[in-house]
Amino acid sequence: MSASDGDSSSASLADTQRILARIDTTRPHTARIWNYWTGGKDNYIVDREAGDQIRKLHPGIGDYALADRQFLGRSVEHLTRDVGIRQFLDVGTGLPSADNTHEVAQRVAPESRIVYVDNDPLVLAHARALLTSSPEGRTDYLDADLRDVDAILERAARTLDFSEPVALMLLGVVIFIEDDEESYGLVRRLMDALPAGSHLVLSHTITSPSMPDVDKAVAFWNENGTPRLTQRTPEQLLRYFDGLEMLEPGVVSCSRWRPVAGAAGGAGAGAGDGLPDEVAMFGGVGRKG
């Protein structure tokens, strides 16, 4: 990972120790459970126990994590290869795993620049070691909250050129903003700062009468884990894309956003690799005109 001036990813040992001191291993955390469900090792017993309990309430919930990851891969690959995007602002990065945003983008265009943003100390600790870059491109990591819009934009500008199109990645992060209007406002402020030709890539856990087990699983999480989750309907998700041109097929189950038939895992995988056709993690991509 390349370093920026000031508060960049190159921190001292004392900084690392302060970061690790922020990690709470006594309560399950959503990023670590997500990591557990996708086969990662960056989790604790408390996370695995909570993850197993949630699976009992809704056995298919682990598929949501996989579908969301594959949606990231397909959307980034499309924007890089077919649209020509070379800059990505990934807010709510989560724990690094296979096919992170920079890996997918730089396979297609090695000169791509990516800025990751997250406020989870465990994510930050791992990002230092795992989020690398091609020699032609650049990656950076910001320790910030989605609500810190001004700080995110100011610090991301050290790596990204906001006069050129940027893909704003908000995968599974606005679910942590409980107030609807606040969440819409945060997304709007970020998109307002980006030029024409920029794209919004967003995914979100939904609530639907056809998926009552999901509501039970989220209720269990909100009683036992941190941070709290807020579900929204597919119709509510469309509001995040107000004023943008939706790319086909619109806001759909992540497993149905341009799946690659017969793919088996990796960036292009989709419903063809054995995931259900419909999962309660929906996503979409919109273009700013």
- Residues 69-90 have a mean pLDDT of 97
Domain 13-287: give its CATH code.
3.40.50.150
Residue 125: its pLDDT value, please?
Answer: 75
Q: What is the pLDDT of residue 112?
A: 98
Give the rounded distance of the alpha carbon of 5 from its chain centre. Answer: 25
Kindly indicate the confidence band of residue 129, based on its pLDDT and cuts at 50, 70 and 90: low
pLDDT of 246 > 90? The answer is yes
pLDDT of residue 240: 98
Mean pLDDT of the chain: 85
Which has more pLDDT, 3 or 262? 262
Cα 1 to Cα 239: distance, rounded to the nearest angstrom: 35
93: left (phi over 0), alpha (psi -120 to 50) or beta: alpha
Residues 6 or more apart from 53 whose CB is under 8 A from it?
220, 224
pLDDT value, residue 17: 67
